[in-house]
A and B are shown apart, each in its own frame.
Chain A
Amino acid sequence: MVGSRSTVRCLILACGNTLRSDDGVGTRLAEWAEERFRTNEDVRVVARQQWTPDLAEEIAAVESVLFVDSSIKSPPGHVHLDPVEPQENHNGSVTHHVDANELLRLASELYGSRSVHSMLLTVGAGSTELGETFSDRVEAALPRARGVLEKAVQRFLEN
């Protein structure tokens, strides 16, 4: 997972199901990031099938977090990079899956983590049917997504 906990400044936190076509794009980008930042002790990559409350502890230990996920709200293949803020719970059914806003809020409530810079990188999903390959538009979007990911991490580390 790249950097050991005590030196890590930037956490790349991805989620996705690699058996559900485009839903796995976050995990694929995490695999690329794992290799890209393999020798960089400032960066840690964690990929999970879904984000869980336990990750609040990981977030609280770093200066910055880049969340990486697919999105069913964006057109297929569209790459977005948006800031993330801790947010009030808005659906009342948080159990063993939380979103990026809720994770930041948990990190703040539990660990007093208030200085975490965070962004959410999403790639619009075309298909979330059973499958291990991406749709054409998501496959075509991967180079741009990698570029956005790399630049975001570099900006985090420069701050």
Chain B
Amino acid sequence: MSQTITIDPVTRLEGHGKISIYLNDQGEVENANFHVTQVRGFERFSEGRPFYEMPSLMARICGICPVSHLIASAKACEAIMAVRIPHTAAQLRRMLNLAQMVQSHALSFFYLASPDLLLGMESDPMQRNILGVAAAKPELGRAGIGLRRFGQHIIELLGNKRIHPGWVVPGGVTEPLSSAKRDEILGMIPEAHRNLHLAIDAYKQIASTFKAEIEVFANFPTNYLGLVNEDESIEFTDGALRLIDAKGATIEDGMTATRFTEAIGEAVEPYTYTKFAYYKPLGYPEGSYRVGPLARLNIISKMGTPQADVELAEYKQLASGPVESSFYYHHARLVEMLYGIEKIEEILSDPKILDTHVRATAGVNRLEGAGQAEAPRGTLMHNYKVDENGKMLWANLVIATGQNNNAMNRGVLQAAKHYVKDGKFTEGLLNRVEAVVRTFDPCLSCSTHAFGQMPLEIKLVNANGELVDRVVRG
């Protein structure tokens, strides 16, 4: 008899999701889906608002990565204004974005992933959490908290609030950086380095014990998308996008935000509220791709800071071409955090960083604008249309998690097929299926958007698990 295994909710993720695993009559896995079960509506209720409100509104999508939305939204507004922001404002935004990346990656690695990595995939689920890590490895628990504090305090110093700071506005930022704040941030750098190196050393010690997981955790060829600078170094705030194929060859380079809106489509499936992004010239699903730390490190040739470049060289030895196993998202996150700490220190040594000209002003000069940035989880794009008075007519957001959606679903199926045999499974094996999704560090609250009428499938199942009725719309 066929059977469905449901993991609901999927734990240690941002947002709400569930996994369904469908077994055939022989008890073998036939299919699996990752469902995002939240419904939001940001693109709809922003219609009618003044465009300059959008950064502040859009930041409220998320409490972990609001800075990413602030920056992508502000850039979309600046495209409407047709302005270029001052150099100092660009540097300050870059620093804010990197601080967010460090604290977000710290949350992902220490709070969400480390219980599996440090305590074991089969460890007692009642202990497999941050409290269990704190008891077993207190120095790592302190390091995680310290790195979260590092990133969040920088955000608070720059934007006056650690969550949903209002400092990033269309045209730049509202206040320059003071010398006191600059010095305070510089004083935090050494401890951040110590904390991160503890994590890197700990990860390298345990990584080799996960050979089996590395083989089946969304380990397959895909395309990859991410921002890159002209000198082939990593970029999170400006730069242009590059799409590469599974062998590392460039499919398209120099993609601006406007080109993104033309080249990237979004498909919908009836079992989830998150859309599936794809590169239109290749169609869906062949044009699917991955974003985020794994993708970024596959695209670039260098980080651009000394210690991170050493770590990158070691990381690149994992494969002769692009690194494919999503398990290595964890490693890539650590390399990016190191870059973030080094780059923040470098930005603060810019002689213009205390300059007081930090905002450009203009009205509506174009009726459509798009902005892109790298969120911790991957590429983020905001696209807006306004009327002559700057009233929002339409908005579309393409979120990192939606761009990873195809890979997450394929990864869940790959892991389920490996770990669920003859209809038999244990809690630890199901935890591994969840852990595949955790490697992507998805932000489910950001990723769910309704546009038009959503395809919807409703199944009515009786107490015996038998399908009684089914209704499909769209």
Q: Chain A residues in contact with chain B, CB under 8 A? A: 49, 53-54, 56-57, 89-96, 98, 102, 105-106, 109-111
B145 within 8 A of A: yes
CA distance A136 to B125 in the complex (A): 42
> Which residues of chain B from 126 to 178 have a CB within 8 Å of any chain A CB?
126-132, 134-135, 138, 141-142, 144-146, 148-149, 152, 163
- A-B contact list, 25 entries, CB within 8 Å: A49-B63, A49-B163, A53-B141, A53-B144, A54-B145, A54-B149, A56-B134, A57-B142, A57-B145, A89-B126, A89-B129, A89-B131, A90-B126, A91-B126, A92-B125, A92-B126, A93-B129, A94-B129, A94-B131, A95-B12, A95-B129, A96-B111, A98-B131, A106-B134, A109-B135
A95-B130, A109-B131 known; A57 and B149 CB under 8 Å? yes
CA distance A111 to B135 in the complex (A): 11
Interface pair A89/B127, CB less than 8 Å apart: yes
CA distance A110 to B132 in the complex (A): 11
The smallest C-beta distance from A101 to any residue of chain B, in angstroms, reads 10
Interface pair B11/A93, CB less than 8 Å apart: yes
Contacting residues, chain B, for A93 (C-beta < 8 A): 11-12, 129
Secondary structure call for the B interface: helix
A95-B112, A96-B107, A111-B142 known; A53 and B130 CB under 8 Å? yes
Interface pair A109/B107, CB less than 8 Å apart: no
Interface pair B141/A109, CB less than 8 Å apart: yes
CA distance A94 to B138 in the complex (A): 16
Secondary structure call for the A interface: loop
CA distance A61 to B286 in the complex (A): 54
| Known contacts A92-B129, A110-B138, then 18 further A-B pairs from the complex at CB < 8 Å, ordered by chain A residue | A53-B111, A54-B152, A56-B134, A57-B142, A57-B146, A92-B125, A92-B127, A92-B128, A94-B129, A95-B12, A95-B111, A96-B111, A98-B131, A105-B131, A106-B134, A109-B138, A109-B141, A110-B141
Interface pair A89/B112, CB less than 8 Å apart: no
Interface size class of B (residues with CB under 8 A): 20 to 34
CA distance A111 to B145 in the complex (A): 11
CA distance A94 to B144 in the complex (A): 15
> Which residues of chain B from 9 to 64 have a CB within 8 Å of any chain A CB?
11-12, 14, 63
Interface pair B130/A106, CB less than 8 Å apart: yes
Question: How many interface contacts (CB-CB < 8 Å) are there between A and B?
Answer: 64
The smallest C-beta distance from B266 to any residue of chain A, in angstroms, reads 28
Q: Which of A49, A57, A102 contacts B131 (CB 8 A)?
A: A102
Q: Which residue of B lies closest to A87 (CB)?
A: B131
The smallest C-beta distance from B105 to any residue of chain A, in angstroms, reads 14
Interface pair A54/B130, CB less than 8 Å apart: no
The smallest C-beta distance from B440 to any residue of chain A, in angstroms, reads 16
Contacting residues, chain A, for B141 (C-beta < 8 A): 53, 106, 109-110
Interface pair A110/B134, CB less than 8 Å apart: yes
CA distance A158 to B175 in the complex (A): 42
The smallest C-beta distance from B180 to any residue of chain A, in angstroms, reads 15
The smallest C-beta distance from B19 to any residue of chain A, in angstroms, reads 16
Contacting residues, chain A, for B129 (C-beta < 8 A): 89, 92-95
Interface pair A110/B145, CB less than 8 Å apart: yes
Contacting residues, chain B, for A96 (C-beta < 8 A): 14, 107, 111
The smallest C-beta distance from A4 to any residue of chain B, in angstroms, reads 13
Q: Which residue of B lies closest to A103 (CB)?
A: B131
CA distance A103 to B23 in the complex (A): 41
Contacting residues, chain B, for A98 (C-beta < 8 A): 130-131
CA distance A127 to B159 in the complex (A): 33
Interface pair A95/B145, CB less than 8 Å apart: no
The smallest C-beta distance from B6 to any residue of chain A, in angstroms, reads 16
Contacting residues, chain B, for A53 (C-beta < 8 A): 111, 130, 141, 144-145
CA distance A140 to B138 in the complex (A): 44
Interface pair A89/B132, CB less than 8 Å apart: yes
Interface string of B436-451 (1 = CB under 8 A from A): 0000000000000000
The smallest C-beta distance from B392 to any residue of chain A, in angstroms, reads 22
CA distance A105 to B11 in the complex (A): 21
The smallest C-beta distance from B432 to any residue of chain A, in angstroms, reads 17
Contacting residues, chain A, for B148 (C-beta < 8 A): 54
Q: Which of B11, B107, B145 contacts A56 (CB 8 A)?
A: B145
Contacting residues, chain A, for B146 (C-beta < 8 A): 57
CA distance A91 to B138 in the complex (A): 21
CA distance A105 to B133 in the complex (A): 12
The smallest C-beta distance from B427 to any residue of chain A, in angstroms, reads 11
Contacting residues, chain B, for A92 (C-beta < 8 A): 125-129
Contacting residues, chain A, for B131 (C-beta < 8 A): 89, 94, 98, 102, 105-106, 109
